[in-house]
Amino acid sequence: MQKNVDIAIEDLKQNIISEFEKSGLPISVVYYVMKTIFQDLEADYSRYIEQERFKQLQQAAAEAQENPEQAPAPTEQNQVETD
């Protein structure tokens, strides 16, 4: 399975490089395009990570409600102050 992923990654990289070479654009433009693509991907990835964290927190909360005796004891890090 990992080999298939590695091959797909390498194919993607080669396809991207090939398309930039075919475009005939100067390297400064290619750099700008890649930079903006990376910024967009970085934002998308950050949103994805936050969504996954939220899902994990929801799942942990649901499990804690279903099994309160197995819920972790409050700690300084996860304890919420109520005044």
Q: Put residue 72 in one of left, alpha, beta given phi > 0 → left and psi -120 to 50 → alpha.
A: beta
Rounded Cα distance, 42 and 2, in Å = 23
Q: Write out the two tokens for 20.
A: 């930039």
pTM (two decimals): 0.59
Cite the DSSP H helix spans in 1-83: 2-23, 27-66
Sign of CA dihedral 43, 49, 51, 57: negative
Digits of tens for pLDDT over the chain (83 positions)? 788 999 999 999 999 999 999 999 999 999 999 999 999 999 999 999 999 999 999 999 888 888 877 655 556 555 555 54
Phi-psi region of 24 (alpha: psi -120 to 50; beta: other; left: phi over 0): left
